[in-house]
Amino acid sequence: MTNTKKLALFAITWPLFVESALQMSMRTADTFMVSNVSDAAVAAVGVSNQLMIFVFLLLQVISAGSAITISQYLGANRLDAVRRFAACALLLNFIFGLVLSAVMVVFSKPLLSLFGLQQDLLGIAQMFLSIVGAAIFIQALNLTMSAIVQVHGFTRYTMMVAIGMNLVNLIGNYLVIFEPWGFPKYGVMGVAVSAIISQCLGLIVYIVIMYKVVRLNIGVKEILRSKLEDMKKILSIGIPTGGNQLAYSASQLLTTYFITSLGTEMLSTRIYTQNIMYLIMALAISLGRGTQIIIGRLVGAGEKEAAYKQMFRSLRLSLMLSLVSVTMIVVFRHQLIGLFTSDVQIIALGAALLAMGFILEPGRCLNIIIGEALRATGDARFILITGVVVIWGLIIPLTYFLGIYLGYGLVGIWIAFIIDEWLRGIVLFIRWRSRAWEKKVLVQPEAKGGN
């Protein structure tokens, strides 16, 4: 097993960042390839993927809960408990994945009908969702094993698996869309099958990594012996974590609705600006995940003072890298927006929003880094309560008031974004300084001797 003190933040984080950036670029490449089938195919696959993103968030409930739980028990050097919780997480997400697979296959048409698709698009989307949805249980296992491998410190392995899976998917899409060497053209159906093949290959590789690298010998017997109390412990972290992500995602959907009411140009500006800022967000998220792994180990080992100081080191690094990245983007902001559009008004507004990143991104760093640190200690419920109260109690009404009612448009909405990140960040900062999270740690000192 990897020793806690040997886990360096940079060594853990850079593979996570590469993985996130790669996934973003592959999604763009996928969209470009599918556009060669037809615009209808892009729309159909795009809507289906919205449902798959929602499913992904649901699957994260168990994988996130298991990652934090296992991380703390690793820190406590209770390896039997680590194996037990890993087996439990695999069983939970496998069952959950099977249920979601059945729902997506059986109810694909009613679910897609909620988006108001035309009949021709509905048929394409239903075919795609039925095929991809049938393999959700495979994705569930992949997510769980990825989380287990990462908390052991082997983030480079999960990065390599992600690279391999994305390349297989990309090559598969190329074959079924562009018909090289006389390969049959399968269109959208081929794209769906390509995604499943990449998931299956990823599962095989993850099983090998679990046994050969992590050395977690988990068999069917261990999985079937999973205890209810272990499941409760995983879900006590996972449900608030997933709930927080769902609350934020739902707020972004409503915000998108507000922006859509302002016109197509405003929606396009928001999309272009967010695509550019995503790399900064991915950097903060990756640092947050790396921080979570280290702090989970530290609090599990009873080293709460070291965990307390680690958060501040991570926060300083995140703020520094964020400001450097924002500066580079702001300097070239007009040229970057110009890569997407030649519309002068969109470029001007997008450039202004990017410049506001100097205020927005430090607040986002505060929110992400401290949030992941608190989550690592087991204080996930506080983050959920903070997110729901601030986002839905204040920010959503403020977004409408500034952007729509007062007529400040995207600038007003961006001001609401800034207030949201800073307000939640400050609340979480106060929580971290209070050290109330020390009482939330799953592995208490008096329990370290047993399993």
- Residue 170: pLDDT over 70: yes
60 and 29: one domain? yes
**pLDDT at position 153, please?**
87
Asked whether residue 153 is domain-assigned, the answer is yes
Across residues 412-417, what is the average pLDDT? 95
Q: Where are the alpha helices (DSSP H) in 152-227?
A: 155-178, 187-212, 220-224
Q: Is the pTM higher than 0.75?
A: yes
Residue type, 156: R
123 and 186: one domain? yes
Which residues constitute the domain of residue 202? 4-226
138 and 209: one domain? yes
How much of the chain exceeds pLDDT 70, in percent?
90
415 and 274: one domain? yes
**pLDDT at position 28, please?**
60
User: In this structure, is the dihedral angle defined by the CA atoms of residues 116, 121, 123 and 129, taken in order, positive or negative?
Assistant: negative
Among 147-151, 195-199, 402-406, 441-445, where is mean pLDDT lowest? 441-445
- Residue 361: pLDDT over 70: yes
Asked whether residue 231 is domain-assigned, the answer is no
Asked whether residue 425 is domain-assigned, the answer is yes
259 and 368: one domain? yes
| Residue in 194, 201, 164, 163 with CA at minimum distance from that of residue 176 | 194
Q: Where are the alpha helices (DSSP H) in 76-154?
A: 79-106, 108-113, 119-133, 136-151
- Residue 264: pLDDT over 80: no
**pLDDT at position 446, please?**
47
Full DSSP string of 213-281: TS-----HHHHHT--HHHHHHHHHHHHHHHHHHHHHHHHHHHHHHHHHHT-HHHHHHHHHHHHHHHHHH
341 and 194: one domain? no
Number of Cβ within 10 Å of residue 372's Cβ equals 26
Query: Could you read off the pLDDT of 328-356 as tens digits, one per residue?
Result: 999 999 988 887 778 888 899 999 999 99
**pLDDT at position 448, please?**
41
**pLDDT at position 368, please?**
94
**pLDDT at position 25, please?**
63
- Cα 329 to Cα 351: distance, rounded to the nearest angstrom: 9
Across residues 407-415, what is the average pLDDT? 93
Asked whether residue 319 is domain-assigned, the answer is yes
Domain boundary among 202, 226, 250: 226
Asked whether residue 114 is domain-assigned, the answer is yes
Helix 136-151 and helix 79-106, axial crossing angle in degrees, nearest 10: 160
Asked whether residue 328 is domain-assigned, the answer is yes
- Residue 442: pLDDT over 70: yes
Asked whether residue 274 is domain-assigned, the answer is yes
Across residues 48-73, what is the average pLDDT? 84
Residues written for the chain = 451
- Cα 281 to Cα 278: distance, rounded to the nearest angstrom: 5
284 and 425: one domain? yes
**pLDDT at position 412, please?**
95
Number of Cβ within 10 Å of residue 363's Cβ equals 20
Most confident of 27-41, 98-112, 120-134, 375-389: 375-389
> Which pLDDT band holds residue 39 (cuts at 50, 70, 90)?
low
Domain boundary among 226, 261, 291: 226
Number of structural domains (the chain) is: 2
Report how far apart the first and last C-alpha atoms of the chain are (Å, whole number). Answer: 17
Which residues fall within 8 angstroms of residue 192, CB to CB, at 6 or more apart?
Answer: 127, 128, 131, 132
- Cα 89 to Cα 102: distance, rounded to the nearest angstrom: 20
How much of the chain exceeds pLDDT 90, in percent?
44
Asked whether residue 8 is domain-assigned, the answer is yes
> Which pLDDT band holds residue 2 (cuts at 50, 70, 90)?
very low
Query: Could you read off the pLDDT of 265-298 as tens digits, one per residue?
Result: 887 788 788 878 877 888 888 999 999 999 999 9
| Residue in 326, 387, 336 with CA at minimum distance from that of residue 362 | 326
360 and 266: one domain? yes
Query: Could you read off the pLDDT of 191-226 as tens digits, one per residue?
Result: 888 889 999 999 999 999 999 999 888 877 778 888
| Residue in 73, 68, 96, 97 with CA at minimum distance from that of residue 83 | 73
- Cα 334 to Cα 273: distance, rounded to the nearest angstrom: 11
> Which pLDDT band holds residue 254 (cuts at 50, 70, 90)?
confident
Residue scoring higher pLDDT (203 or 177):
203
215 and 248: one domain? no
- Residue 401: pLDDT over 90: yes
Rounded CA Rg of the chain: 22
Q: Compute CA distances 86 → 116, 238, 298, 360, whole Å.
A: 41, 14, 19, 38
- Cα 233 to Cα 68: distance, rounded to the nearest angstrom: 10
> Which pLDDT band holds residue 304 (cuts at 50, 70, 90)?
very high
Domain boundary among 197, 226, 255: 226
